[in-house]
Amino acid sequence: MYTKPKYIQLIHIAKQKLGMDDLSYRAMLERLTGKSSTKQMTIPELTKVYNELENKGFKKTSRKGKSPSTTQLKTKSNIAKKILALWIDMARKGIIRDGSEKALNVYIMRIVNEVTQRQRPDPKMLYVGFLHTIDNTMATIVVERLKKWQQRVERKNG
């Protein structure tokens, strides 16, 4: 069960995906509900229209894949893809509980702050680092930490 705006959104997406022209779309709405606009409809009427579009072949698909930060943003470091690959591999092996990119960014931020505080101690300063913003030096440190973590766990598990 969706909210009214979500139903309207899905119905409009279905109309587009099925290649329906406006005339046949409005005729279908009239036939099913007696109304020519989805904004005038109640949720049960929208459900009826949505089910009809599903019967015509519309299938709701969710976006699967990487988050925008890995696919659309350019990275400062050439090593960023290696970091992401290591993170995903460690998550698949069960070394990391949360294999999300958000968790990776938290991990990177922690390392960047730790290293930067050692180099330039300033208790008032918080240094932020994310996968797409860290430079090659910091990225190398992150890769080496991930490798050591992975080796430590694999040695422990035998």
% of residues, the chain, pLDDT over 70: 82
Tell me the pLDDT tens digit for each residue of 77-110: 678 888 888 999 999 988 988 888 888 888 988 8
Q: Is residue 72 scored above 90 in pLDDT?
A: no
Best CA proximity match to 146, nearest among 99, 113, 78: 99
* Domain spans of the chain, in order of start: 4-55, 68-157
Q: Is residue 60 scored above 90 in pLDDT?
A: no
Tell me the pLDDT tens digit for each residue of 14-31: 999 889 999 999 999 999
Say which DSSP state 80 is in: H
